[in-house]
Structure 1
C-alpha cells in the first residue's frame, strides 16, 4: 500500500534512500487526502466486528471492535464509551479514524473498542444523562456507569482474541465522563484512563451551570438536538433552529426562562426540564458529583483540559484535585494546555481567536504526552513512566512546564485590591468611611459576552478583547499601572466582593484581563484586522449567582441596600502578565446570553415572568473594613 511504503521509506538511512532513488522509476504523487489514506490504512490493517455485550441485568450494549490483522502478538484494548453513537454501523462500514487523535496509536497497534452507552445508538436499555454512581449495588439489577464499564471490560478480555488483558479508556467531554466513571470500582484489567474535559458537576462549574448561573446559550444549543427525537443510529432530525446568527437577540426575544419549553422544547427534552427545575444544589445534583467517588484509584489516570475550554474548565482540574486528595501515591496526572473544548485532539493548537501560542501545542500533546502515557501503561514500552505529575502550558510566555504537583507547591497568594479611580494594586484600601463604585444593571439590556455577533457560546470568547465591555456604564474597571516585572499566576483565583443591591438577588461576574501595551504589534498576516495595541485579553471570567453566597443548597435573598460579601473561587490559570502589561479586573452583573438573566428579584428564576425582571443599582465597596479584591496564586 502506498501509505505503508511511505512509512517504511522514512525509516531508511539517507544513503540507502538516495540509492533507491537512483534505481527506482519516478513516482506519481498521490492525489488522495490524508483522510482517504488513513481510511485505507485502517481497512488494510484492521478487522471490524460488532457485538452486543451483555450487562449483569441482561441489557446488551452495542460495541464495535477493530482488531489488528497481524496475529503475531497480543494487543491491549483501548475503550471509548459514548452517547453520540459509534457509527458507521455494519461490519463492513469502517470508521475514518481509530483511537485518540495521534495516528501513532493505529500504527502502533491496539484493539479499539467503541461502545454506545446504555439507551443510545444501537444499545439496549434506558439512557440517563450523567447517570449517578449507585454506591449500594446489591444485585444484578443494580447498575450504573461503573458497573456497565466493568462488565464491558470483563467481556472484552475474555472474548476478543489476541488481547493482552490490559485495557485503557479515553474520551473527550461526555465520553470523558464515561472514562472517569470507569475508574470508579475499576476492573482489574483497566490499567490506564484519560478523562478529557470530563463532566464532573453540572451545577457548580461544568458546561451548563457556573456557580448556579445557567449557561443559557450552551445549554440551549446542546439540548436543541441532544435528547430530542432522533433515529437510534442517525443524526438528530428534530433539532431546534434559531433562524438567526444573533444569539443575543434570539434569547432576549425569547424572554423569561419559562418560555423556552413553551416555545421550543414542548416537553420533549426531559433533561431541559431537570436542568431548569433543579435550581439549587439539591440531591439531584449532589448525587451526580463524581468527585466523591474517585477513591481507591487503581488505574493510572491522566486528566486533560484546556485553559480556555468554554464548555468545561472545571472538570479536569477538579477531577485531578479530588483524585489527588483521596488517593495518595496513585498515578494521577494533569495536563492543561491553551485549548478550547477538545482543542488538544485537533490538528493545530497554535492559536485561539486572536491569541497565538507560538507552537502546535495539540500535536505536542498527542505525540509527546498522550501516546507515551498509554504506550507505557498498556504495552510497557517507552518512557511514559517519566511523565510529570502536571504537564501544563504557560500562556503569556508560551512555554510548557513540568511540575510535581498542581498548583505548584511554592505558589503564594498575591491580593490585588480595588481603589478609587479604577486603580488596582496590592495596598489595602485606607478609606474608613463608606466608599464604593456603582452601576445600574438592567436585565432588558444585559452586558454581552462577545464584541461580535455569535450564534451560541463562541469558543474564542475566553481570549476575546474586552474593550467593548470596559466602555459600558454597567461594567466596573480596575487596573494596575504598567508592570515593572513579570507576574506569573499559577493556580486558582479567589474573588472577594463586598456588595449591595437595591434588588433581592443579583449576579456578579468577575473577569481577570491582560492589557497589552499600546505599541504591541499587530499579527502578520492580519486577516481579521485585529489591533493588539491595548488589547484586553480575557484570561479568566466567572459568574456567581448572589443568592448562593451562603451555600449552593441554601439560597438567601439580599436585604436591599445592605452590604454583604460575595466570595467565590475561580478556575485555575497558568498565565504570565508580562513586563509593561497591566492587570485588569472587570465586574458586572450580566454576561449574556452566556449566562441566563437574573430578574434581580429573589425567586425561582424558571418561574419568572417578564414583569419580574427589574433594574437594580449595584455597589462594590472598597474600604479598609470591606476591601473588595481578587487573589492570585503566583510563583516566581
Structure 2
C-alpha cells in the first residue's frame, strides 16, 4: 500500500502537478499510451559521482538512429519510476510536442532518494569552493551531464534541463557552475529559499503543509523502489478544528517520531525523529542553516552560455517567490544572459496539464491557456536552443505574462514593464482606500487566539492548499477581526504590474503578532459573468477575488535573523512585500485591501506573547490581544501607465 502513497498525496511532485484531471486529459493519455514504447528505448544506469555515490538514472532514447538528438534531463526527489526492464512511462519530457519531436529524455533520482545511493538533504546547501571529491547537487548535475554526453549514443552534445516544483529547483541548480554542454534550462515553480517558499512565508510556518514534512524528512540510506515514508493521519475532515484542538506546535511532535510511523525497525533504531521537522523546530530564525540552503543568492554563477526560461503561476500557493526571485536574480547578475519569464493564470504546475479549461479553484480564466504555452512557448524555447541556432533571437518575448483581470496575454521587453510607476494608497477610516493621506487615527480589532480567522470557508483537509489563492474573500470581510479598505467603484481600468509593498503602522497590547495583507478584486454586483467552476453556495455577483496575499511574522519586521518583540501599545512600522501581480481591476470593479492578524490553519497560530521559539511555546503563552492599524498606513502599488 505504501508503494502507492506517492501518487495519492504527493502535492509537491511533478507527477502530481501533471496528473490529468479532466475527461479530455484521460482521452488524450489513452491515445498516447503506446507512443513512448513504439518510438523510444529505455535504459537504466547508475552514474558514479565524484565522491563515489551512484545516482540511478533512466534514459529514454529515440529508436531512430539516423540522426543525433539533444538531451532533456529532469532530476527529481519524487522517483524516476517505473523501474525495471520493459516498464516505461506513457509520457516523457516537458510536453507531448517535445516528446514527439524526439529528444533523449533523462530522469534521475537525486542523491539519497529512491534508487539512488547516499543520504538526502532537503535543499542541500551549495558548496562554492569544493575540495577534492566534495559533492553537492551542483556537482552531481555536472557529473551526470558529463557522463551523458560522453556515453549516450546519438546525442548532439547539447543538454537542456527542466522541472516543476522541487525538480524545478534542480533545474536552477543545473545552471550554477554549469557544464559546457548545458545550453537551456527551464526552472518552473522552482524553490528559491526555504524561509520564504513552501514551508515558510516571511518566517511564518505554513501549518497547512505539515503532512508533507515526512515526505522530505524520513531517513533512508539504501536504494529502494518502494516508499519508505508515511504521512500523518488526521482522522477528521475539519483541519481547522484539528489544529485548533492540537494547540501549540510542539504538540505536533508526536507525528514525527518514527515509533509512531509505519517505517522499518532499522529506521526506528537509526533515527529517532524526522530530520526535516527537527530542522524546522530547532531553527526558527533565518540563520546559517536556512541561508546556506538558498539558491537565489548564487545567480551570479549562471554563465551566459546557458539560456533560461523561468515559468510560474500567478496563483501558485507553493512556489511563487522562487521563480520570481530566480528570474530577477539572473537579470540583476547576468547582464549578458538570455533570460525570460512566463507567468500565467495557474496554480502549482498546471501549465503542464493537457485539459482545455483553465481555472484555479472557483475562478475560470479561459480555454487552452496551458496548451498554448506548451506548443507555442515551451517547445519553441527548447527547440531553438537545443536543435536550432541557439542565439538570442528565439522569437520569444523577455516577459510573457497573463493579465489575470483582463484575461489576456501580454509581451514586454522587461519585467516589470518600463512604464510602471509607484503609487501609495492609504488605509482610511470608514473602510476607504484613497490616494489622500489623512490625519493618523487608530482602528482597533481583537485578535482572539481561540477564534482565528480561517484562510478558507471550506470544511475539509488538504495535503497542500491551492484553491484558496482565488477564493471568494467575502467570508473574511464580514468578520470583525478583519479590517477592510476599498476604493469607490472604478471609472476606468487600473492595472497593477509588479510587486506590492504594504507599509503598515501598527500597535498591539501584546509583544508579538502576525500581520496579513490581502489585495482583492471586488466584482460588480450586477455582473453578467458566469462560471460553472463555482462552488454551489457562491455567485459571481460581488465576488471578492483574492489577487495577492502575504504574511509577515511581526518578530522579523526588522531582521529575519534577529527577531525582536513589540513594545506593547507602541506604534511600530511593519513592511510586507507582496509578490508581483499582473492584474487589471476593470472599470466597474473595486480594489479592496484586507488586513488581519491570523490566517488559520494556513499559517501556525502566533502566541501573541513573545517567546524565543514559537515551535516550543506552551499553552499559557497564547493570549488574546487587541491590535491597532493606523490610518497613515499605506499600500505601495506598481501601476502600469
Instruction: Answer yes or no: same fold by TM over 0.5.
Output: yes
- Residue aligned with 2:111, SS: coil
Name which of 209, 212, 225 aligns with 1:222.
212
- In the other structure, the counterpart of 2:52 is 58
**Which residues of 2 match residues 46-125 of structure 1 at below 5 A?**
46-100=40-94, 102-125=95-118
Q: In the alignment, does 2:399 pair up with 1:409?
A: no
- In the other structure, the counterpart of 1:508 is 515
- In the other structure, the counterpart of 1:6 is none
Alpha-carbon deviation of 1:236?
5.1
Name which of 362, 366, 375 aligns with 1:354.
362
- In the other structure, the counterpart of 1:455 is 461
The Cα offsets for residues 35-84 of structure 1, whole Å up to 9 and x where unpaired, read as 24323111110000010001111111000000000000000000000001
How far apart, CA to CA, are the structure 2 residues paired with 1:184 and 1:424?
44
Alpha-carbon deviation of 1:214?
0.5
How far apart, CA to CA, are the structure 2 residues paired with 1:527 and 1:389?
34
- Residue aligned with 2:476, SS: helix
Name which of 346, 349, 366 aligns with 1:342.
349
Alpha-carbon deviation of 1:239?
2.0
Pick which of 228-237 and 439-448 moved more: 228-237
How far apart, CA to CA, are the structure 2 residues paired with 1:87 and 1:592?
36
- In the other structure, the counterpart of 1:234 is 226
Name which of 538, 541, 548 aligns with 1:540.
548
Name which of 289, 299, 302 aligns with 1:284.
289
Name which of 615, 630, 637 aligns with 1:621.
630
- In the other structure, the counterpart of 1:189 is 181
Structure 1: give runs of 5+ residues left out of the alignment: 1-31
How far apart, CA to CA, are the structure 1 residues paired with 2:465 and 2:152?
42
How far apart, CA to CA, are the structure 1 residues paired with 2:393 and 2:32?
26
- Asked if the contact 1:372/1:384 (under 8 Å) is kept, the reply is no
Q: In the alignment, does 2:340 pair up with 1:333?
A: yes
- Residue aligned with 2:208, SS: helix
- Asked if the contact 1:374/1:384 (under 8 Å) is kept, the reply is no
- In the other structure, the counterpart of 1:128 is 121
- Asked if the contact 1:522/1:531 (under 8 Å) is kept, the reply is no
**Which residues of 2 match residues 511-526 of structure 1 at below 5 A?**
511-521=518-528, 523=530, 525=532
**Which residues of 2 match residues 303-342 of structure 1 at below 5 A?**
303-342=310-349
- Asked if the contact 1:514/1:581 (under 8 Å) is kept, the reply is yes
- In the other structure, the counterpart of 1:156 is 148
Alpha-carbon deviation of 1:522?
5.1
- Residue aligned with 1:293, SS: helix
The Cα offsets for residues 431-463 of structure 1, whole Å up to 9 and x where unpaired, read as 2xx511110111221100001113134311011
Name which of 630, 637, 640 aligns with 1:632.
637
- Residue aligned with 1:115, SS: strand
How far apart, CA to CA, are the structure 2 residues paired with 1:466 and 1:524?
17
- In the other structure, the counterpart of 1:209 is 200
Pick which of 588-597 and 521-530 moved more: 521-530
The Cα offsets for residues 246-292 of structure 1, whole Å up to 9 and x where unpaired, read as 21111112211111113454553210111222111100011112112
How far apart, CA to CA, are the structure 2 residues paired with 1:128 and 1:334?
29
- Asked if the contact 1:375/1:384 (under 8 Å) is kept, the reply is no
Structure 2: give runs of 5+ residues left out of the alignment: 1-25, 259-271
How far apart, CA to CA, are the structure 2 residues paired with 1:88 and 1:384?
38
The Cα offsets for residues 556-576 of structure 1, whole Å up to 9 and x where unpaired, read as 111100111001211000000
Alpha-carbon deviation of 1:90?
0.8
TM-score by length of 2: 0.90
- Residue aligned with 1:295, SS: helix
- In the other structure, the counterpart of 1:442 is 448
Alpha-carbon deviation of 1:410?
1.4
Q: In the alignment, does 2:580 pair up with 1:589?
A: no
Over the aligned positions, Cα root-mean-square deviation in angstroms equals 1.6
- Asked if the contact 1:506/1:545 (under 8 Å) is kept, the reply is yes
- Residue aligned with 1:571, SS: strand
- Asked if the contact 2:208/2:465 (under 8 Å) is kept, the reply is no
**Larger Cα-atom Rg:** 1
- Asked if the contact 1:226/1:236 (under 8 Å) is kept, the reply is no
- Asked if the contact 1:295/1:323 (under 8 Å) is kept, the reply is yes
Q: In the alignment, does 2:476 pair up with 1:483?
A: no
